[in-house]
Amino acid sequence: MLDIQLFRTNPDLIRKNIQKKFQDAKLPVVDEIIRFDKSLRETKTEADRLRAQRNAASKQIGALLSKGKTEEAEAAKAQVARIGDQLDGLGQKEEELAAEVRKRLLIIPNIIAPNVPLGRDDSENVEVERFGEPAVPDFDVPYHIDIMEKLNGIDLDSARKTSGNGFYYLKGGVARLHSAILSYARDFMIDKGFTYYIPPYMIRSHVVTGVMSFDEMENMMYKIEGEDLYLIGTSEHSMIGRFMDTLLNPDDLPQALTSYSPCFRKEVGAHGIEERGVYRIHQFEKQEMIAVCEPADSESWFEKLYRYTVEFFRSLDIPVRALECCSGDLADLKVKSIDVEAWSPRQKKYFEVGSCSNLGDAQARRLGIRVRGEGGNYFAHTLNNTVAAPPRMLIAFLENNLNADGSVRVPEPLRMYMGGLAAVKTKIE
C-alpha cells in the first residue's frame, strides 16, 4: 500500500508505474483516490472547525449561567447539541471516506525497483545467472511419479479417494527423503544465523489482506467456514503477521527468521491439477526464510536471501538458474523478485522451485510494522524467500540424483537425516 502523500504530490509516478505493470485498467483508480482523499481532508477540516465552535459555546454556558442569563445559556446548549449532531454525521462520513480511500489503495501496485525489466508476463522474465552444469544422463529419466512408484514411495490412488486430485500419500524411502530435505533446509538456515520458527497455520482476514493482494488471496487462500480464519499458503503470511502493530528498535533489526509449515493453496487459475503429477498440489510443506530490516538494507538482504537458496540447491548437486521477474509478472506488493529454477534432466529445461521477493514497506504499511527513529517513526522493509518446498524440490532432487538402476543417490549433507543411507533403492526401507 502506497503512502497517500505520494498521491497528493506525485500521482504521475504512480500512473507510470501502473503502466509499467500493464495494469492500465487501474489508472482511473488513482484519480478516485485523489478525489476521495480531498473530500476526506475537507471533512476533517470542517469537523475541526465545528469542534472549535462547540468548545467555545460550551465555555460560554457556565459564564452565562453565573450571570443569570438563563435564556442565552439554553441557546448555547442548543447550539452545542446541534454541533454534536453535525459532528456525528461528519464522523460517519469520515469513516466512509477513509474506507473508500483504503479500499482503493489496496489495489494499487507497489512502486517497482528501477532495474526491474519491463514485460507483460513470465515469458518475458530475464535470466540473471546459472549455477552448476546442467547434465542429461545417458539413460532415460522417467516421469517423477514413475520414479517414486518404482521406489514404492507414493500412493496417489488412495489420496484421490480420501481427498481428491492434488493430494498424495508419500511412504517409505521417498517420504523419508522428503522429511530429510526439510530437516536439512531447517538446519542450513539455522547455521546461517536465522532463528527457527513453527508458526500458526491459520491467520485472520486482516492479516491476509496485510500480506498479499486481493487477486492472490482469491486464487490461493482456503477460508475456514464460519470462522474469521484462513489456512496459510506459506509461512511468510503468519511470520510477517507476527510483527503487526509493533514498534521496533533499530537495534532489533534485522530480524532473520526461518520457518517451517504445511501450505494450503486452491491453485485457482492454474492449468488444472494433474491426476498423476505432484507439481501443482493443494497441500505441501515448505521451509521459508523471512527478513525484516531497515529500508536502506533491503537491497543487500534481497541478494543475500536468494543466494542462500542457490547455495542450498547446489549443496545437493542440483543445477539452478536465477530469473529476474519482469514488471508484469510481479505481484502487486512486490518491489523486485527473482525466481530460482532447478534443472530437470527429464524435460531438459529449468522449472521454478522458489521465489525471492523484496516487498519494500508494502506489508509493513498495511500491518503497521514501524521502526523507532530519532526524526520520527518509519516503516520497516520485509522480504521472503523459499529455502525448500517439496514436492517440487523433491522432483528436482530425484531427477538430478537418479541412478541408472532406478535408485536415488543421497548426497552427503542428507545422509545424517537418512540414517546414514547413501542411496534410496527400489526395496522398502
Looking at the domain assignment, is residue 253 inside a domain?
yes
Kindly tell me if the per-residue pLDDT of 308 is higher than 60: yes
Task: Print the domain residue range for 134.
Answer: 122-424
Domain end among 38, 73, 105: 105
Residues 246 and 180 in one domain: yes
Residues 156 and 234 in one domain: yes
- The percentage of residues in the chain with a pLDDT greater than 70, rounded to a whole number, is 97
Residues 93 and 205 in one domain: no
Residue range 59-74: mean pLDDT, rounded: 79
Residues 143 and 34 in one domain: no
pLDDT at 213: 78
With cell 530437470, the residue in question is: 344
Q: Give the chain's end-to-end CA distance (angstroms, integer).
A: 51
Looking at the domain assignment, is residue 217 inside a domain?
yes
CATH code at position 60: 1.10.287.40
Kindly tell me if the per-residue pLDDT of 179 is higher than 50: yes
DSSP string for residues in 80-136: HHHHHHHHHHHHHHHHHHHHHHHHHHTTSPPPPPTTPPP-SSGGG-EEEEEES----
Looking at the domain assignment, is residue 429 inside a domain?
no
Listed residue (358, 382, 362) closest to 254, CA to CA: 382
Q: Which of 82-86, 108-112, 255-259 has the lowest mean pLDDT?
A: 82-86
The set of cell numbers assigned to 176 is 523419508
Looking at the domain assignment, is residue 116 inside a domain?
no
Kindly tell me if the per-residue pLDDT of 172 is higher than 60: yes
Residues 101 and 147 in one domain: no
Listed residue (159, 355, 389) closest to 274, CA to CA: 159
pLDDT tens by residue, 317-356: 999 999 999 999 999 999 999 999 999 999 999 999 999 9
pLDDT at 269: 52
The Cα 62–Cα 73 span in angstroms is: 8
CATH code at position 246: 3.30.930.10
**What is the separation of C-alpha 337 from the centre of its chain, rounded to a whole number of angstroms?**
11
pLDDT at 429: 43
pLDDT tens by residue, 187-233: 999 999 999 999 999 999 999 999 987 677 777 889 999 999 999 99
pLDDT tens by residue, 367-382: 999 999 999 999 999 9
Looking at the domain assignment, is residue 9 inside a domain?
yes
Listed residue (274, 285, 194) closest to 233, CA to CA: 285
Band of the pLDDT at 22, cuts 50, 70, 90? very high
Kindly tell me if the per-residue pLDDT of 428 is higher than 50: no
Residues 93 and 182 in one domain: no
Residues 275 and 323 in one domain: yes
Looking at the domain assignment, is residue 117 inside a domain?
no
Inter-residue contact 14 to 33 (CB < 8 Å): no
Residues 323 and 419 in one domain: yes
Looking at the domain assignment, is residue 70 inside a domain?
yes
Contacts of 165 (CB under 8 A, 6+ apart): 273, 274, 275
Residue range 111-119: mean pLDDT, rounded: 96
Residues 57 and 198 in one domain: no
Residues 186 and 98 in one domain: no
pLDDT at 328: 96
Residues 245 and 329 in one domain: yes
pLDDT at 274: 57
Kindly tell me if the per-residue pLDDT of 270 is higher than 70: no
Secondary structure element (H or E) that encloses residue 429, with its range: none
The structural domain count of the chain equals 2
Looking at the domain assignment, is residue 113 inside a domain?
no
